[in-house]
């Protein structure tokens, strides 16, 4: 086998023919659709409005009826395939903007305005997706609908607690979702944030791993440098930002991720973060990050309200730096055609295993059609 041919096989995510075993390229592993994924903020999906979203190349139209119920439909009209996200809400139905075909929340066609009297409506509408709303987010179940009822939403008691205030994030990042898991779990990259966090010496206290999870515990020890004021306020250190160590616990519980910071001198978390990474395109190289930052309210009434703009600025600065790094990783993968990372941190090797074994192979898509189910059946999938 020539070196050139081996390189070609490697770019395709295949093992070299030399007999050397090789794991599947993690960036060619798709996310498992059989979970609840946030696709929009509830506040953005107002009554009588439609919102265009996507999950791994599948376009989804979210709409809220006049009665306030949220639904999710395949974003295409069964008639001429015009996106339903361009349509209008009419009472409890969604009408296509082109010929005004009306769809119920279950995807079935409820009316074709010009259909002759006595003629039957087409038997197929479009696929619907289970929807639930929680924590100010619209969650959609893009996988097997038969599994939706038995699959729990994430449990976030702090998001429902009056003792916490939640800051919400929704950002698009041009990278495979696995880069984001690695970024948050691997706290050895604090050098990247030295301009906003000062100098931090992270010490791995230990970690646990299982079939679907990896949880790591770090001790963050400040060692000088200037810290953003928002960082101190977020960590309950006050405006002065007392340089005390924090215990940071990060967990990937497939497919979500959490982070919790507890000051070493306290038993209570200063803040908790929950994040979901939702692939948008069919190749899953662009991800929508939804985050809920749940911050404990200080004893002084109104103090968190005053600190809010500084905390928001700090979190945006950190996120911008992380986004720069993971997007650079994705560009390198695109240029090289394969994952050439030389990882040495056992923790990240373990989380890669979790992501690889719980994910699904990215299926080759038919030319010009990002939805394999739809392409296989020109009539569209039967409404669920």
pLDDT tens for 267-319 read 889 999 999 999 999 999 999 999 999 999 998 888 999 999 999 999 999 99
pLDDT higher than 60, residue 232: yes
**Rounded mean pLDDT, 8-33:** 66
Tell me the two tokens of residue 314. Answer: 């700090």
- pTM of the model as a whole: 0.88
Hey, what long-range contacts does 21-26 have (CB within 8 A, 24 or more apart)? 23/356, 24/356, 24/361, 25/338, 25/339, 26/176, 26/178, 26/339, 26/352, 26/355, 26/356
Q: Which residue, chain included where needed, has tokens 């979190």?
A: 315
Tell me the two tokens of residue 96. Answer: 């296509």
**Rounded mean pLDDT, 215-239:** 78
pLDDT higher than 50, residue 7: no
Spatial neighbors of 249 by CB under 8 A, at least 6 apart, are: 215, 216, 217, 218, 259, 260, 262
Q: Give the model's pLDDT for residue 237.
A: 63
Task: pLDDT band for 170, please (50, 70, 90 cuts).
Answer: very high
Yes or no: say if 247 and 262 are a contact pair by the CB < 8 Å rule.
yes
> Could you tell me what percent of the chain has a pLDDT over 70?
86
Q: Give the model's pLDDT for residue 226.
A: 72
Q: Give the model's pLDDT for residue 128.
A: 98
Yes or no: say if 14 and 339 are a contact pair by the CB < 8 Å rule.
no
Mean pLDDT of the chain: 88
Q: Give the model's pLDDT for residue 272.
A: 96
Which of 75-89, 201-215, 274-288, 368-382 is predicted with the least confidence, judged by mean pLDDT? 368-382
Tell me the two tokens of residue 227. Answer: 């810290």
Which parts of the chain fold into alpha helices (H)?
A: 3-11, 177-185, 194-197, 229-234, 303-336, 346-358, 372-376
Spatial neighbors of 300 by CB under 8 A, at least 6 apart, are: none
Task: pLDDT band for 236, please (50, 70, 90 cuts).
Answer: low
Kindly report, residue by residue over 333-384, the tens digit of the pLDDT: 999 999 898 999 999 999 999 999 999 988 765 334 445 444 433 333 434 3
Q: Give the model's pLDDT for residue 131.
A: 98
Q: Give the model's pLDDT for residue 364.
A: 60
pLDDT higher than 90, residue 241: no
Spatial neighbors of 133 by CB under 8 A, at least 6 apart, are: 42, 70, 139
Of 348, 339, 345, 280, the C-alpha closest to 26 is 339
Q: Which residue, chain included where needed, has tokens 């090789």?
A: 22
pLDDT higher than 90, residue 153: yes
Q: What is the DSSP string of 342-378?
A: ----HHHHHHHHHHHHHSEEPPPPPTT-S-HHHHH-T
CA distances from 287 to 31, 54, 111, 291, 330 (A): 11, 10, 36, 12, 11
Tell me the two tokens of residue 19. Answer: 């007999």
Kindly report, residue by residue over 242-272, the tens digit of the pLDDT: 567 889 999 999 999 999 999 877 888 999 9
Q: Give counts: helices (H), strands (E), the chain.
A: 7, 20
pLDDT higher than 70, residue 3: no
Interatomic CA distance for residues 75 and 83, integer angstroms: 5
Yes or no: say if 211 and 350 are a contact pair by the CB < 8 Å rule.
no
């Amino acid at each position: 086998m020539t070196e050139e041919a081996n390189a070609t096989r490697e770019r395709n995510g295949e093992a070299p023919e030399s007999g050397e075993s090789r794991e599947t390229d993690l960036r060619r592993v798709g996310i498992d659709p059989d979970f609840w994924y946030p696709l929009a903020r509830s506040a953005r999906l107002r009554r009588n409005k439609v919102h265009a979203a996507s999950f791994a190349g599948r376009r989804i139209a979210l709409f809220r009826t006049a009665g306030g119920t949220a639904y999710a439909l395949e974003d295409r009209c069964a008639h001429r395939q015009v996106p339903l996200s361009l349509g209008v809400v009419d009472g409890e139905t969604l009408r296509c903007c082109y010929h005004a075909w009306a769809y119920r929340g279950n995807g079935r066609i409820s009316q074709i305005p010009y259909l002759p009297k006595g003629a039957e409506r087409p038997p197929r509408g479009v696929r619907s997706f289970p929807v639930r709303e929680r924590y100010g987010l619209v969650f959609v179940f893009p996988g097997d609908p038969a599994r939706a009822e038995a699959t729990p939403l994430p449990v976030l008691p702090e998001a429902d607690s009056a003792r916490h205030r939640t800051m919400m994030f929704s950002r698009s990042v041009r990278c495979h979702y696995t880069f984001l898991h690695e970024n948050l779990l691997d706290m050895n990259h604090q050098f990247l944030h030295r301009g906003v966090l000062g100098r931090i010496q992270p010490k791995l206290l230990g970690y646990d791993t299982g079939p679907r999870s990896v949880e790591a515990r770090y001790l963050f020890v400040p060692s000088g440098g200037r810290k953003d004021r928002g960082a101190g306020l977020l960590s309950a250190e006050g405006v002065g930002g007392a340089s005390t160590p924090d215990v940071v616990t990060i967990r990937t519980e497939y497919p979500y991720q959490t982070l919790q910071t507890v000051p070493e001198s306290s038993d209570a978390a200063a803040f908790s973060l929950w994040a979901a990474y939702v692939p948008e395109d069919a190749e899953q190289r662009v991800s929508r990050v939804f985050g809920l930052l749940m911050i404990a309210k200080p004893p002084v009434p109104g103090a968190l309200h005053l600190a809010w703009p500084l905390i928001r600025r700090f979190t945006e600065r950190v996120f911008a730096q992380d986004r720069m790094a993971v997007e650079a990783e994705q560009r390198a993968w695109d240029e090289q055609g394969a994952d050439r990372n030389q990882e040495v941190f056992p923790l990240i090797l373990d989380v890669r295993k979790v992501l690889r074994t719980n994910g699904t192979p990215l299926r080759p898509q038919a030319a010009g059609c990002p939805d394999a189910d739809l392409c296989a059946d020109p009539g569209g999938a039967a409404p669920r």
